[in-house]
Amino acid sequence: MSPATTDTAPGPAGPLRQGDPALLDTAAARRLLASTIPARFAYVALDGTPRVVPTWFHWTGHELVTVTYVAGPQIGIRHPANRLAALRRRPDVAVTIDTDGFPPESLSLRGPVEITEASGLAPEYVAAAHRYLGAEAAAGMVSQLDAPGTVQARVALRPTWVGLLDFTGRRPSAQGGVDQETRSA
């Protein structure tokens, strides 16, 4: 086994390297993006300390979208989440979605986020609720939360860097990058 920074799925110019957004099109990445595993969303808070927040997400095919409240009077939220001010100041984030079974799989995304506000519940929030809770529970939750005065912030990451480890064909290398297992036929 020789160290390399490749993926088992070849791209147009050969195997995919860590950092290549085309890794989002691999089977492992698609599986993780469709899962009910919460994303771990890392950013720098206003006080300069790193923070990691587990969060629901929705993958649009181009963006990983998380949603937080700006206002939700019916559930006692009267001001925006503090992380919104931090993300506006420093929009670069890192996100991981990873399994805890064996062999583990880990998808890492990096890039700047764009924040837009939605009156009422953001469509991606509703889609995530359906994926995480199932149709019936999501419908009940949405009917309780979708009330006048609700404002949500849509936090969208269009990844500029993508990393993928599946610990079968793509493993971390002791020399940095990724080792690819070479299998003989």
pTM value is 0.84
Alpha carbons 66 and 56: distance in angstroms, whole number:
6
pLDDT digits (tens, 9 = 90+) for 96-155: 999 988 888 999 999 999 999 999 999 999 999 999 999 999 999 999 999 999 999 999
pLDDT for position 179? 61
How far is the C-alpha of 31 from the C-alpha of 26, rounded, in Å? 9
Q: How far apart are CA 151 and CA 115, in angstroms?
A: 13
Q: Is residue 4 within 8 Å of residue 180, measured between CB atoms?
A: yes
Domain boundaries, the chain: 14-166
Q: Stretch 36-40: mean pLDDT, rounded?
A: 98
Q: In this model, does residue 170 exceed pLDDT 80?
A: no
Q: Tell me: the pLDDT tens digits for 44-103?
A: 999 999 999 999 999 999 999 999 999 988 788 888 889 999 999 999 999 999 998 888
CB 60 within 8 A of CB 23: no
34 vs 80, which has greater pLDDT? 34
**Region 167-175 average pLDDT:** 62
pLDDT given for residue 4 in this prediction: 36
Q: Is residue 160 scored above 60 in pLDDT?
A: yes
The amino acid sitting at 142 is: V
CA 150/CA 103 separation, integer angstroms: 42
The pLDDT-based confidence of 1 (bands split at 50, 70, 90) is: very low
CATH of 14-166, one of 2.40.50.140, 3.40.50.410, 2.30.110.10, 3.40.50.720: 2.30.110.10
Question: Comparing C-alpha atoms, which of 33, 32, 55 is closest to residue 43?
Answer: 55
pLDDT on residue 178: 62
